[in-house]
Amino acid sequence: MGEPAVALTRSCPGSFARAWAKAVSGTSYLPMTQAQLEALLQRLTEQLAVALQAEPFDLRIGQQVGAELVAAHIASAEGLGRTIEVIQLRLVRDLGLVADDVEDRMARLLATVATGYARALRDRTLDEQESIRRAAMVARAQAERALRDSEARFRYQATHDPLTDLPNRTLFTERLSAALNEPGRGGDRVGVCFLDLDRFKVVNDALGHQVGDSLLVWVAQRLRRVLGDHLVARLGGDEFVILVERADCTEDVVRVAETALAAVSEPALVDGHELTVSASIGIVERPAAGTSPGELMRAANSTLHWAKAAGGARWSLFDADRNRRELARYALSAAIPGALERGEFFLDYQPLTSLRDGTLLGVEALVRWRHPELGVLRPDSFIGLAEETGLIVQLGGWVLAEACREAESWAAGRDDAPFVSVNLAVRQVRRPGLVQEVRALLGRTGLPPERLQLEITESTMMSTVEEPVRALRVLADLGVRIAIDDFGTGYCNLAYLRDLPVTELKVAGEFVAGLRAPATDPASRTDERILGSLVSLAHALDLTVTAEGVETADQAERLRTIGCDAGQGWHFGRPAPADQILARLARARRAGGQGKIALD
């Protein structure tokens, strides 16, 4: 910078700066105190003074002042206007400047201040826009990341079991579907091991759910550790499943199942308890093509039940034939209620004949099912099913009612009519309403209680607790006869029967079968002696004895000699519809008047 072109006569930058500060304050929000503002403008005033005097004229100073004003947030159009005004009116005067070209210099100075101001303002706006753009980008990236993170977290939660952290049913099903749809990723076959802990409920009940949960976590960890890269998932409860994606043959999957069983059966130290558990596994292994996940899992589940039914602590392998048989059984049991409604069941009756004089003492009601597709079905093919499913209560109720209804009509005003013997399943005996049901039936049909006999198996008697025995006693007190069916096939002993309300023993056909051999055969003689002592013991207990499965006249004669009271079997008559029984009864009444029936 050269010699000053403008001379300073009386310098008073302070009063100018104050006037300037007064002019601009209030034109925009200033983040500083009045004193700070004055100090700033004081400094800028000194620069303006320098600019006015500099030789040659230096544009940069005015521009610098303009820029500093903007930087100090004096950045509105009004702020600039007032600044220009105050400089124009007061600067030269307040600073006491004297020069020929002061007006010219002032004009240039104002122009440079305005230019600097405008540029700074533009730059600041650009900067602001840029930083807003950048902030928006950063915010968007953060939001996207947060979304991705939460999606991943959500997906993890939706596909994993919170207790064991194993994949859950959803993820397992996804992987299984993928394995079935993309065979060839490994082998062409897929294997599934459906694992369920044996008696896990006992752990929960005895030690509490917390220990149960810890045991599940332990099992999950063990399975994951020993099964390496096979997918192990928890389906819920104590059910786990292992997916064997690269199976070459059944043995591959069986090996996986054996490894899993061995791992689970190692003693576990859980919450201070040493627990030993076992598991059962249903294995399905088949070509991936043509199988759906649902079908495969249903097969695995059925197979698991085979392993459980065989005693647990083992694996079972799916067997299509067995599965078909079970499905057929299931279909049959599911059809029972409809069949009852449509009246597809009917009763045959089989004579129970006195061995002493050949009288028809009673008849056993035996249920049959006239199945629309399968023909007439014997009870052995559906009674077991009905017992398992509980449908026996409905079916047995129908049999009881039907038998009472028909039997009542046989009396025809005489008192030598045969009694009707009805088989009762264990569930029927255990039902609390049995006494009321029988009482109501007798009342409704008018059948005297003495003409009803209930057949109960030994095992029913043995497994029956206090309450049902009381019900049988009430019925016996009413006059209803109670018989033990198939005696000798269970574990009932005669001494036990002494305390039960039983009136008759029906000795199982197996014991009577021995009497079919010639009486000279030593084994046959032994059977006869056993039967003989059984009969005397029964008589000592005031029980009558009916022999089942009597097929020949010789058997009947030997049983009579032993002292057996009655016989049932083909020798006396096969199970037949009620009208045939009635016809026999009528024939016997005509012939002897004592209900004696002629044999076929």
Amino acid, res. 53? Q
Write down the least CB distance from residue 431 to ligand C2E, Å: 13
Contact at 8 Å (CB) between 349 and 417?
no
Per-position b or e across 467-497, b if 16+ CB within 10 A of its CB: ebeebbeebbeeebbbbbbbbbebebeeeeb
Q: Residue 424: what residue type?
A: L
DSSP helix/strand/coil, 345? strand
Among 64, 173, 280, 350, binds ligand C2E (CB under 6 A): 350
* Contact between 468 and ligand C2E per CB under 6 A: no
**Least distance (Å) between residue 223 CB and ligand C2E:** 44
Site membership for ligand C2E, residue 344 (CB under 6 A): no
d(CA 184, CA 287): 11
Q: Which stretch binds Mg ion (CB under 5 A): 88-96, 312-320, 479-487, 583-591?
A: 479-487
Q: At what angle do helices 466-478 and 434-445 cross, to 10 degrees?
A: 20
Which residues, 6 or more positions from 219, have their beta carbon under 8 angstroms from its beta carbon?
164, 197, 238, 240, 264, 268, 277, 279
Alpha-carbon separation of residue 356 from 202, 267, 359, 563, 565 (angstroms): 56, 66, 8, 9, 7
Please, which residue, 383 or 597, has the CB nearer to ligand C2E? 383
Residue 61 or 550: the one with the smaller Cβ distance to ligand C2E is 550
Q: With binding defined as CB under 6 A, does residue 486 bind ligand C2E?
A: yes
Among the listed residues 275, 286, 285, the one whose alpha carbon sits nearest the alpha carbon of residue 197: 275
Task: Tell me: does residue 396 bind ligand C2E (CB under 6 A).
Answer: yes
Q: CB of 259: closest distance to ligand C2E in angstroms? A: 45
Rounded Cα gap, residues 513 and 518, in angstroms = 11
Which of 187, 449, 509, 577 is close enough to bind ligand C2E by CB under 6 A? 509
- Any contact of residue 528 with Mg ion (CB under 5 A)? no
Scanning 226-234, 243-251, 280-288, 375-383 for contacts with ligand C2E by CB under 6 A, the matching segment is 375-383
Looking at beta carbons only, is 1 or 598 nearer to ligand C2E?
598
Among residues 13, 358, 418, 549, the one that binds ligand C2E under rule CB under 6 A: 549
Q: What is the smallest separation between the CB atom of 539 and ligand C2E, expressed in angstroms?
A: 22
**Binding string, residues 438-477; x marks residues near Mg ion by CB under 5 A:** -----------------x----------------------
CB of 520 to ligand C2E, least distance (A): 23
Closer CB to ligand C2E, 247 or 424, in the complex? 424
Integer Cα distance of 409 and 441 in angstroms? 14
**Interface with ligand C2E, residue 573, by CB under 6 A:** no
Residues 301 and 195 sit within 8 Å (Cβ to Cβ): no
Chain residue at closest Cβ approach to ligand C2E: 569
Q: Which does 569 bind (CB under 5 to 8 A by kind): Mg ion, ligand C2E, none?
A: ligand C2E
Task: Give whichever of 203 and 383 is closer to ligand C2E, judged by the CB atom.
Answer: 383
Do the beta carbons of residue 318 and residue 281 sit within 8 Å? Answer: no
| 514 touching ligand C2E, by CB under 6 A | no
Label residue 153 exposed, middle or buried (CB < 10 Å: 0-12, 13-18, 19+).
exposed
Q: Cα separation of 177 and 292, whole Å?
A: 7
Angular region, 593: left φ>0, alpha ψ -120 to 50, beta rest: left
Is position 485 an interface residue for ligand C2E (rule: CB under 6 A)? yes
Q: Which of 38, 238, 406, 485 binds Mg ion (CB under 5 A)?
A: 485
Site size for ligand C2E (CB under 6 A): 23
Q: Report the residue number, 74 or 347, with the smaller CB distance to ligand C2E.
A: 347
Indicate the residue type of 597.
I
User: What's the CA dihedral at 311, 316, 319, 324 to 10 degrees?
Assistant: 40
Minimum separation from the CB atom of position 468 to ligand C2E (A): 15
Binding site for ligand C2E (CB under 6 A): 350, 366-367, 378-380, 383, 396, 399, 423, 425, 455, 485-486, 509, 548-551, 568-570, 575
Binding site for Mg ion (CB under 5 A): 423, 455, 485-486, 548
